């Protein structure tokens, strides 16, 4: 029974992470409600695993480190809350792997956006795919104007990877 609840909680967590990532791409904001739902899902996962207090301490440490990054302008506040909530999804010993996975996904995201900037700037991109072209142009505009990357997508990818590979 615990395994079935844990599997359902993992499924729900991945869906919520995808919604958070999509929302961040669309609006460059992460909903507090989604972060809360992910945290509650993480609490459910930790309680079914009988994990004790270690995951909560690890999530608090992630939140404090993220808050420092937010304070100095390295992360958005929504990303900090989402990352701390995601830390509740995994056992405490896997939190460093979660952070590493998120950082790697963030690096890939950054490279993708650099490539996107170059791709959209070239006239060789076929305009027959109108919707795709519009999305690419919107993202190019955002990047060229100094908008932030939708880092929730990196958090979601890293967290989903660790959760599913765990």
- Whole-number Å distance between alpha carbons of 158 and 136: 24
pLDDT score recorded for residue 3: 83
Q: Which residues contact 67 (CB under 8 A, 6 or more apart)?
A: 80
- Whole-number Å distance between alpha carbons of 46 and 48: 6
pLDDT score recorded for residue 148: 79
pLDDT score recorded for residue 78: 95
Q: Is 101 left (phi over 0), alpha (psi -120 to 50) or beta?
A: alpha
- Whole-number Å distance between alpha carbons of 152 and 25: 8
Q: Is 28 left (phi over 0), alpha (psi -120 to 50) or beta?
A: left
Query: Do the beta carbons of residue 13 and residue 82 sit within 8 Å?
Result: no
Q: Which residues contact 17 (CB under 8 A, 6 or more apart)?
A: 38, 86, 155, 156, 159, 160
Residue 75: how many other CB atoms lie within 10 Å = 20
pLDDT score recorded for residue 114: 79
pLDDT score recorded for residue 125: 47
Instruction: Give me the residue spans of the domains in the chain.
Output: 2-165
Residue 116: how many other CB atoms lie within 10 Å = 15
pLDDT per residue, tens digit, the chain (166 aa), is 678 888 899 999 999 999 999 999 888 899 999 999 999 999 999 999 888 899 999 999 999 999 999 999 999 999 999 999 999 999 999 999 999 999 999 999 988 887 777 766 554 445 545 666 677 777 777 777 767 788 999 999 999 999 998 6
- Whole-number Å distance between alpha carbons of 111 and 90: 27
């Amino acid at each position: 029974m615990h395994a079935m609840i844990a599997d359902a909680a993992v499924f729900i967590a991945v869906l919520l992470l995808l919604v958070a990532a999509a929302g961040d791409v669309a609006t460059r904001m992460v909903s507090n409600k989604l972060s809360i739902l992910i945290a509650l899902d993480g609490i459910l996962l930790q309680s079914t695993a009988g994990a004790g207090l270690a995951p909560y301490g690890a999530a608090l440490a992630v939140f404090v480190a993220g808050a420092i990054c937010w304070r100095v302008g390295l992360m958005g506040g929504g990303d900090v809350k989402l990352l701390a909530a995601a830390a509740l999804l995994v056992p405490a010993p896997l939190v460093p792997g979660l952070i590493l996975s998120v950082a790697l996904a963030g690096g890939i995201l950054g490279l993708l956006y650099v490539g996107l900037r170059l791709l959209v700037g070239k006239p060789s991109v076929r305009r027959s795919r109108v919707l795709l072209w519009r999305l690419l142009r919107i993202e190019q505009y955002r990047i060229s104007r100094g908008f932030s990357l939708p880092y929730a997508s990196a958090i979601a990818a890293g967290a989903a990877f660790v959760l599913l590979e765990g």
